[in-house]
Every structure is written in structure tokens, then in C-alpha cells.
Chain A
Amino acid sequence: MRLDITDLEPGTVLDADLCVVGGGPAGLCLGRELVGSPLRVVVLESGGRELESETQQLYSGESTGTILDERPGYLATSRYRLLGGSCNFWQGFCRPQDPIDFEARDWVAHSGWPIARAVLLPYFERAAARCRVPGFDDARDRAALRAVLLGGDADFETSFVHVSPERRFGETYGPQLAAAPNVRLITHANAVRLVVDEAGGRVTAVDATAVGGRRLTVRPRGVVLACGGVENARLLLASGGAGGRGLGNDRDLVGRYFMEHPYLRLGFVVVPYWHWLLRPYDNVGAGGSKQVVRAVLRPSDALQRRERLLNSMFVLEQADARDAPELAAEVMALATEALQLAEGHPDPKEGFDYLGTLDMAIEQVPDPENRVTLTAERDALGMPRPAVRWSIGEQVTASLEATAETFARHLGAELRGRAQLLTARDALWQRARPSNHHMGTTRMATAPDRGVVDTDCRVHGMDNLWIAGSSVFPSSGCSNPTLTLIALALRLADHLRERLA
């Protein structure tokens, strides 16, 4: 059933087995998994079908840090409050976290997931189906690519991002939830507070309010917060709990370890071919369906271990000739001469004829000082507005530089091109932008002194409160988080189906 909060009588109280707060990709995919189950599910979505200014303004807050100092509107513009959530403006990039992302690496403080990647593998496949992309098999995709930039290179590997055609999760899964007799999808219902029992270990109610003031209370047996990497922390912090510290926050960890993916133009490359590498291309998938695939380059796990680097990926795209930097044509000529000499002039037409942009997304070191907090200012619903601080530390900068320099050397040594690296420190991060990936603020850890949720995504110290979304990521890797957060939501759905049965 689909309802709007204004359809309900003021002060309505709904009983449910599970209340899912948030109708973005995590909440909708989790709810979809529970369609037809014996569980009575309520999904609360803040927005409606379209973006609405008053609702979107609830996201406003303060933002500071390396990149965010220049982006005061970051919190209001990096996420979207409507059915389907921020995926409505998603580019559709799907790629699982890499194996090394799950490892505790001694050169990356606070790294490592408490669950093995193997645990998530079946859920990656299920998440891929939800996103309507094929399963992930780099060997298969490399074979289909026909050419790779650093083919035989052990230090850099071509990997693949599959572009999901499924970006309007609200339009796809909203009607499925609405048609399910055991699910109530309620729009314009902003969760503003989680009410807990006297002992503080159990959520007894979720209070929701419309921008116009209509109120609703859900009394569920279990609650899942699925409202994004900032809002999950904000709602926990704003819900009081023992001593007013916030739910699940006995150890002052809620909101800490905020991570993003800085994305920046490193410079340019001249390469011998671009069609199969630099542009997204159509790959014929199962059943003859066309699948858009994008090749990327990343430092191999072996190189990361050897040089103690952070995970990262290079994105190469054909450059607009009007943006060509100084000396590009001359470097193309020089590099072509070197190639011709090295290969004994096999083909005078073969050369470095293509100019590409060289962009990079890089992993962040989990840092407790990067965090979401609450400010004294309140939004239209009376909730404290959030503040996010995100600073990019020296290790990220050094790793970026080292990875880029190694890549430039490999391009030359493998006769694959030349790179221009605009890595001067004074201007480096001025060219970066955030990817709008909010991660880490309710990180997963086995022990409550290391994280906010356990390996089942249940908030430590709370009997019936779980979290879905990228806020549980202990490490960010370099992949877009959407596929992984959907995988985690599907896993959580399996867990809740048993737990609440």
C-alpha cells in the first residue's frame, strides 16, 4: 500500500514488524526483499515523487574541510530527498569493492572490514540483478574489450564499471512496494526521532512529521535506518538516548570516520588508441541486451601492498581538442617517435594520436576527526542541522602523487603513452570535487569500541535497531558505493526475515 502522510489522521499510530526509515536504494531494495514475507513493513520516505524545495531544504547544513570549504551548499546539493533518494541523480556506476578494501592494511589506519568479501559475493550478484547489470568478471570483460592500455602489466590492471540503467529506484520499486499487502510505503514522512525504552536498549517508536506539521508514529518491533551516510548519523545523534549523547553513541563514534571519494583531474594522457578504453562502450549482455561498460585503470593489489598505496582508479576519457594543454601535439610526436624506434618502424601510421583526460578517484583514510555532528541551528521540523567536516590528509595526497607518478612511468615503459600530471600541491585539491558518496559514519566493527554497528548491521547496544547504507562501510575503497550498499541491504533483509519471523 502506498500512502502519503497527509492521507492519515493526525497523530496516527501504526504498528509494524519493521520500520524502514528512508526510501532510497538501500531502503527500497531492503523493503522489496520483504515483499510477500509475513512481516508487516512500513517504509517512511521524506519526499514525494518529485524534488520539492521545502523538503530538500531539510538537508541543509554546514560543511568544512579541504574541498568543502569552497562548497558551503554541499549538504543540500550532494543528496536528494525524494522517493528513490539520491539515485535519482546517480550516474549508475556499479562496481564491487575490491578484495583489498576488506583487508586490515597496516599502512591504512582503521582499515579492514569485520566481514570477508566472500560473505558479500552472492549479494553483489543479487545487487547487480537489482541494478540490471551483469555479474562482475573482469577477465570476461577484458576479453570483450579487445584492447587494454596496460595489458600485461602486473602493477596496473584494467577493470570495469557497469553502468546501471536502473537509476529511478522509486519508480521501479515504489509501485512494487505499494502493491504488496504486507508493506506500507508512506511518503512525506520525515523521521525526526527514535523513541527508546527506559533501559535505552530498544527502539519503541519512530516519530515522523510532514513539513506541513502532520504527525505519525510507528511502533515497530525492529527499525532500519536507511536514510544516507549523513542522516543516519544525524538521526541517531538527534534521538537523545542515555545522557543525550545519541543512540548507539556510548563511545562517541556515531558520525565519526566520515569518508568521501575526492575526484579530480590529474592531467592528460596521450595514448595510441581510445575507442575501447576511453569511452564507455556497449557490450552485448545476456539475451542480447546492450550493456554500457566503462573501463578504468587501477593500481593492482600487489602494487598497493608494495608501495603502501591507497586504492584508487583512473578514468580516461577522450579530451576535447579545445582543452588540449600546451605541448600536447609535440609530446604526441615525440612519444610516437620513441614508439616507432622501439618497435623498428613497424607502421608509420601507428602512434600516440589520441589525447585523453586523466581523472582519479581515490580512497580515503578512515579518520575519526572527519565527522558529522549536530549544530545548534534547527530545521523546519525542529531537528538540529548537521555539520560535516572532511579534511584530506597528507597520506591521501602522497598516495595520489605516488600512484600517478608510477602510472606515468608505466605508460612510458610499456610504450603506451605519456602523461601530464598536474599534481603541484598548492593547487591539487582545488581541482577536486566530492563524488557525493557519504560513507563511514556508523562504521561496522565487531567490538563496540571500534564501531557503531556489528557484523549484522545492528547498532551495538541496541536490540532492534539496524542500519543500511554506506554509513556502515569501515573503508571506502575507490568504487562507487551504491552496489555495495545495496548488497548489504539485501543481506540485512535476509537477516531480518529470520530475526523478526
Chain B
Amino acid sequence: MTNRSRGVARRELVLALAALSVAPGLLVSCRRRPDPRALAAALAARLRRDEAVRALGRAVVATHPEESDAGALAARLAAELGWTPDAPGAELDRRLGERVRDDFRLGRLLVVDSWRLAATEARVAALLALAAG
């Protein structure tokens, strides 16, 4: 290994550690799966139209059976949104809003009854529906 490549490797390691230090939520989500009911409750608390969203969530689950595991959905959403139980609600709002826009920009869509939905919003709806039983 040359001095130059050793320097690059060291710099990458430092950057990676720094990135982890500013993303504690990600570390948490890697360590253990979040409680789906806690994430669902946190999401529901941010929404004003949660009944309608749950109804849509039931359609998401019916159309996409692969999205019917509440635990897997919660883990995925928590990781993608950097969510932790103690995360401020406003931060969850911001990340959710950004993620939905990015889904559309990048074509990460779920089709439900021909409606083109952002994958994240569809999964949020599905999680709320599943958490409500």
C-alpha cells in the first residue's frame, strides 16, 4: 500500500465515522428493529387525516402483499427516515416530506389502483393500516 492510498483509506474511514456520528437514528435502526406501533403512533401524531390514510393503506397492503409485514415496514421506514423514538416530530415531518419528493424524482413509486404514489407515503399508509389492525 502506498502512502497516498493509505491516506485515502484513512480519510474514508474518518468520513464514514463522521457520517455515522451525525446519523444516530441509522445506528439505532441497524441495532434493533423499531416497534412498529411506536413508529405508527409517531406518524399518526403528525397527520390530520389519518383515517383516510389508513383506508388507503389497506388498499396498499391488498395490492402489494409484500408490504404487509408491519415489522419490516417499520424497520425500512425508520432506516429511510432516520427515525428514533426520541426524534423531534418536526424532523420526522421534514424527512418524510423530502423522502416523498425524492421518491417521485427517482421513480420510486408504488401503483395502487393505478394511482402513482411515492413508495414512502404508500408504506406509511400501509403501516398505519396494519398498526390499527
Contacts and interface: CB of A to CB of B under 8 A. Distances in A.
Nearest to A415: B101
B104 A413 contact: yes
Interface string A325-354: 111011111111110111111001000000
Given A342-B98, A412-B100, A413-B105, A336 B113 contact: no
A450 interface: no
A419 B115 contact: yes
Contacts of A412: 100-101, 103-104, 116, 118
Interface of A: 267, 325-327, 329-338, 340-345, 348, 405, 408-413, 415, 418-424
Contacts of B125: 334
Given A325-B113, A329-B52, A412-B101, A341 B46 contact: yes
A422 B93 CA distance: 31
Nearest to B46: A341
Contacts of A336: 49
B79 interface: no
B93 A344 contact: yes
Contact of A420 (B93, B107, B116): B116
Contact of A409 (B55, B96, B105, B121): B105
Interface in B95-133: 96-98, 100-101, 103-105, 107, 109, 112-118, 121, 125
Contacts of B96: 338, 341-342
A235 to B, nearest CB: 46
Give chain B's interface secondary structure class: helix
Contact of B118 (A267, A338, A420, A422): A338
Given A327-B113, A341-B100, A410-B104, 9 more contacts: A327-B115, A330-B56, A341-B46, A341-B94, A343-B97, A344-B90, A418-B115, A420-B114, A424-B114
Contacts of B105: 409, 413
Nearest to B107: A409
A415 B121 CA distance: 13
B6 to A, nearest CB: 42
B53 interface: yes
B59 interface: yes
Nearest to B92: A341
Contact of B113 (A326, A329, A344, A408): A326
Nearest 4 interchain pairs by C-beta: A342-B97, A333-B52, A412-B104, A330-B56
B14 interface: no
Nearest to B125: A334
Contact of A334 (B46, B114, B117): B117
Contacts of B53: 330, 333-334, 337
A345 B94 CA distance: 10
B64 to A, nearest CB: 14
Given A333-B49, A341-B97, A418 B113 contact: no
B17 interface: no
A337 B46 CA distance: 9
